[in-house]
Amino acid sequence: MDMPAPREAPREAPREACVEVRSDADVIAARQKGREIADQLGFSATELTMIVTAISELARNIVRYAGHGEVRLKIERNHASSGLVVIASDEGPGILDVQKALQDGFSTSGGLGLGLPGVKRLMDDFQIESSVDKGTVITTKKWRR
């Protein structure tokens, strides 16, 4: 007896990823990977755009200030929901005054700004560790509503 053809391929389970970032093409790659995983996790279109915008800003900071680093995308689950964790890390010059970098309008490179206050608003959770000459690690999370 013939087996009925499956109507729809099962949704692929989201996989964690790590994107190495050293050029603006990598910024786009990190963005696309983030979109893919967030989509698989079931985020809404608006949330997807928020996540992808945040990833773009973080990856861009790596290229601009550190030259080289990585964006790791992890999945976190609790009893109520699932979330995407974005970890942007580099071994660049670090941020001298983290508190200041988290204020709107702060900039070290002629009006460009780090965009960190914006990233904080786009995501649910935001942590930053930075030390001068050692580098910066920014961990942000977005939970599915």
Partner 1 sequence: MQVPVLKQGSYLIATVQPAVSDDDFLQLRKSLLDRVRSSRSKGVVIDVTSIDVLDSFACRTLSEIANMILLQGAVTVVVGIQPEVAFSMVQLGSTLEGVVTALDLEEGLAYLDEHRHAQQ
Binding site for partner 1 (CB under 8 A): 24-25, 27-28, 31-32, 35, 45-46, 48-50, 52-53, 56-57, 60, 104, 112-113, 115, 117-119, 121-122
CB of 2 to partner 1, least distance (A): 41
Contact 58, 86 (CB under 8 A): yes
Between 103 and 131, whose beta carbon lies closer to partner 1? 103
CB of 140 to partner 1, least distance (A): 13
Between 16 and 24, whose beta carbon lies closer to partner 1? 24
120: left (phi over 0), alpha (psi -120 to 50) or beta: alpha
Contact 136, 92 (CB under 8 A): yes
Lookup: tokens for 136: 């910066």
| Nearest residue to 101 (alpha-carbon basis) of 68, 80, 132 | 132
CB of 82 to partner 1, least distance (A): 20
| Nearest residue to 75 (alpha-carbon basis) of 3, 2, 144 | 144
Between 52 and 128, whose beta carbon lies closer to partner 1? 52
- Identify the residue whose tokens are 């964790």: 85
CB of 56 to partner 1, least distance (A): 4
Between 77 and 121, whose beta carbon lies closer to partner 1? 121
Give the side-chain half-sphere CA count within 13 A for 41.
Answer: 28
